[in-house]
């Protein structure tokens, strides 16, 4: 497996200088985040960056189809580790929300009821089960895991090489690996008991990170489609001069703008938490997932057969949209959560209040 380095110390380069074909010359290439100098570097946000800045960086990563867990690191793993007071490792990070894991205490306390390990003298854990489709597990230095122990939700960290890794991928060939744990002992120093609210925040962060990536991929579809229809001629004039093409391009721009606006609107509520965060993130992921199919359809229709081929960079955006649409909850899941968060008394304020 080859690696391609994403620089954390240089400014984000302009889109014109980004050579997509060269970057993807080898389908087995993955990227690692490190401090180094690279001509096509994308900067990882500073640890103290605001949520709005992190979302903007994730959107840019989605727009450029950056093969690295930038959004997973900056928007999910790092903030969760800081929230619980665990050290934040260098390099790329990933996450897994896995309530299905079997978690027991390694040093059980005496208890007249319950099975061995349901109570513990301290927080060292024994963990068994499979973490499924972990984003970029093979490239991550650390995976942040949220699971359910006998005492309630816990957060712990592990290195991917502590597990049996089964490589996998999504439609865009991004790593989505399974990690099998067989009674793995997690030291108490890497374990924190957390509240159900933090577990829910992790889900919200993951969904919003995915939505930001989708907003960037949608923007890339607009750029590539507009450039193609302006350059491609038919019957002596550019495709963009035909009324039917103009109408489809307008719909494409509208759908991309809806996703972008929904993501931006969720930044402030995510910081404040509470019902507003649930509403904003659910709306953002619902909109992003619902728009993905239409954005990809219009972009490919206006590109014609060329857009399907590997010669066109369009597939780097559309295959990601199709993949990310279902990851971290599809539109049905988040639409149900969105509806569940609204009542007769909260619907109107939610629709009319400016963040």
The pTM score is 0.85
Task: Specify whether the CB–CB gap between 134 and 178 falls below 8 A.
Answer: yes
What is the set of domains in the chain, with CATH numbers? 89-194 (2.40.110.10), 197-352 (1.20.140.10)
Could you give the CA distance from residue 117 to residue 344 in angstroms, rounded to a whole number?
Answer: 45
**pLDDT tens per residue, range 129-178:** 999 999 999 999 999 999 999 889 999 999 999 999 999 999 999 999 99
Could you give the CA distance from residue 160 to residue 153 in angstroms, rounded to a whole number?
Answer: 21
Burial of 44 (0-12, 13-18, 19+ CB in 10 A): buried
List per-residue pLDDT tens for the chain, 355 residues long. 444 444 433 333 333 333 333 333 233 334 433 333 333 445 667 777 899 999 999 999 999 999 989 999 999 999 999 999 999 998 899 999 999 999 999 887 655 444 545 555 578 999 999 999 999 999 999 999 999 998 899 999 999 999 999 999 999 999 999 999 999 999 999 999 999 999 999 999 999 999 999 999 999 999 999 999 999 888 989 988 999 999 999 999 999 999 999 999 999 999 988 888 999 999 999 999 999 999 999 999 999 988 888 888 999 999 999 999 999 999 999 999 988 877 766 777 767 776 5
Could you give the CA distance from residue 190 to residue 84 in angstroms, rounded to a whole number?
Answer: 10
Could you give the CA distance from residue 347 to residue 328 in angstroms, rounded to a whole number?
Answer: 25
């Amino acid at each position: 497996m080859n690696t391609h380095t994403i620089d954390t110390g240089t400014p984000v380069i302009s889109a014109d200088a980004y050579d997509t074909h060269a970057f993807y010359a080898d389908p087995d290439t993955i990227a690692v985040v490190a401090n180094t100098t690279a001509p096509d570097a994308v900067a990882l946000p500073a640890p103290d960056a605001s949520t709005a800045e992190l979302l903007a960086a994730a959107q840019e990563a989605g727009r450029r189809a950056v093969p690295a867990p930038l959004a997973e690191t900056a928007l999910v793993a790092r903030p969760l580790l800081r929230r619980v007071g665990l050290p934040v490792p260098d390099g790329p990070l990933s996450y897994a929300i896995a309530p299905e894991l079997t978690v027991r205490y390694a040093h059980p306390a005496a208890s007249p009821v319950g099975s061995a390990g349901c109570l513990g003298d301290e927080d060292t854990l024994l963990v068994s089960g499979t973490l499924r489709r972990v984003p970029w597990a093979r490239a991550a230095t650390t995976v942040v895991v949220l699971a359910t122990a006998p005492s309630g939700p816990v957060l712990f960290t592990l290195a991917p090489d502590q597990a049996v890794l089964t490589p996998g991928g999504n439609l865009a060939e991004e790593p989505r690996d399974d990690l099998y744990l067989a009674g793995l002992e997690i030291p108490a120093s890497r374990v924190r008991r957390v509240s159900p609210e933090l577990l829910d925040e992790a889900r919200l962060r993951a969904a919003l990170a995915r939505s930001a990536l989708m907003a960037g991929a949608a923007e890339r579809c607009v750029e590539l489609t507009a450039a193609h229809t302006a350059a491609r001629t038919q019957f002596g004039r550019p495709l963009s001069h035909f009324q039917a093409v103009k109408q489809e391009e307008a719909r494409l721009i509208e759908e991309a703008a809806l996703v972008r606006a929904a993501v931006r609107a969720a930044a402030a509520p995510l910081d404040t938490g509470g019902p507003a965060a649930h509403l904003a993130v659910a709306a953002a992921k619902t909109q992003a997932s619902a728009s993905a199919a239409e954005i990809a359809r219009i972009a490919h229709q206006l590109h014609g057969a060329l857009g399907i081929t590997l010669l066109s960079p369009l597939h780097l955006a559309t295959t990601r949209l199709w993949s990310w649409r279902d990851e971290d909850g599809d539109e049905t899941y988040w639409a149900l959560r969105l509806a569940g968060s609204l009542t007769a008394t909260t619907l109107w304020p939610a629709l009319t209040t400016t963040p």
